[in-house]
A and B are shown apart, each in its own frame.
Chain A
């Protein structure tokens, strides 16, 4: 089973709202990722968590705040977003074992900022 789940599937929020995206996997993967994908573009890496610790932040604005409460869950807290932040937000996970590079993606949250 290579399932990563994400909620909600769709989210519409205003620029003053606070919302959270959630990601869950039960594959025992210890590396988890947030990506942002705009239409007709490849995914862009935002954050990497390794063993529940933030290891990479790709210079993402502070209005995006990641959190990894445990080895199965990854959240992305959103606050004061801009319309240009509208995109598909993808979570991915990887086994985090030496020599294992495959990442498995969740279905994504399609975010619209109004």
Chain B
């Protein structure tokens, strides 16, 4: 069983749509949670950290459910520039990151 699981997609959505990605993790001792975005042939870039209280950054909302070991990312009003692979990332107490396999999003005009 993978430690961090994501639906690989691709999610094909029209511009303006709302899309949600989910992620589950197996290590109940995980400390911190993140969504990274990775464009084709580029490096992963930190999109946002994820907190139990939920957090929002513009069109992006992230949620964490520690009891269910579940993380989500909601993107509202999708833009063409949101097309990328979204990596769910979990950090353990030793500051080691575990990456999910990524979810590919394609926003179409």
Contacts and interface: CB of A to CB of B under 8 A. Distances in A.
Interface of A: 2, 31, 41-43, 45, 48, 56, 88, 90, 94, 96, 101-108, 110
Given A94-B95, A102-B49, A108 B34 contact: no
Nearest to B30: A101
Contacts of A2: 46
Given A107-B42, A110-B41, A43 B32 contact: no
Contact of A42 (B46, B96, B102): B102
B57 interface: no
A31 B94 CA distance: 12
Interface residues of B, number: 19
B108 interface: no
A105 B43 contact: yes
Contacts of B34: 101-102
Given A42-B99, A101-B31, A106-B43, 9 more contacts: A41-B101, A88-B41, A88-B43, A101-B32, A102-B34, A102-B46, A103-B97, A105-B44, A107-B42
Given A41-B101, A42-B87, A42-B101, A101 B95 contact: yes
B61 to A, nearest CB: 19
B1 to A, nearest CB: 16
B45 interface: yes
A104 B45 CA distance: 7
Nearest to A39: B41
Interface in B80-107: 87, 91, 95-97, 99-102
A48 B92 CA distance: 14
Nearest to A96: B95
A88 B41 CA distance: 8
A42 B100 contact: yes
B43 A45 contact: no
Nearest to B49: A102
Contacts of B102: 42
B101 A105 contact: no
